[in-house]
Amino acid sequence: MSSSLPASEEAEENPVVVIKDRCKGCLICVHFCPKHVLERGSEPNAHGYIPVVVKRPEACIRCGKCELLCPDFAIYVKR
């Protein structure tokens, strides 16, 4: 089910978790995700950064590239 609102982090169908308070919106994960699962968000976090959101959780193939390339310990694939 795709939506323009960020999927709840803990939701069953969401394979990848964005830790909003750590994300700086650098968009590395957005660019390197082979399946365009993530996109730039629109709501700033407490630090003024705009964290990314999981746009298409159903497309995620759990390759882990986002987790590997994130510089901020802010995204991971659920084990």
Partner 1 sequence: MSKWPLDAYLRVERLPTLWCPGCGIGIVVKALIMAIDSAKLDPDKIVLVSGIGCTGRAPGYLKFDSFHATHGRAIPLATGVKLTNPELKVVVISGDGDLFSIGGNHIIHAARRNIDMLVLCVNNFVYGLTGGQVAPTTPTGAKTKTTPLGNLEQPFNLVSIVATAGATFVARWTVIHVPQLKKSIEKALKRRGFSFIEIVAPCPTHFCRANNISPIEALERLQKVSEIKNGLDPREATLDFGSKIVCGEFVDEEREEYTTLIYSLIKERSGKDVRNVVSA
- Cβ-based neighbour number of residue 20 at 10 Å: 20
Does 38 interact with partner 1 (rule: CB under 8 A)? no
Does 33 interact with partner 1 (rule: CB under 8 A)? no
- Residue 35 CB-half CA count within 13 A: 15
Count of residues of this chain found to bind partner 1 when the rule CB under 8 A is applied: 24
Does 79 interact with partner 1 (rule: CB under 8 A)? yes
Does 19 interact with partner 1 (rule: CB under 8 A)? yes
Cβ 20 to partner 1 shortest distance, Å: 8
Q: Which two tokens stand for residue 14?
A: 């969401």
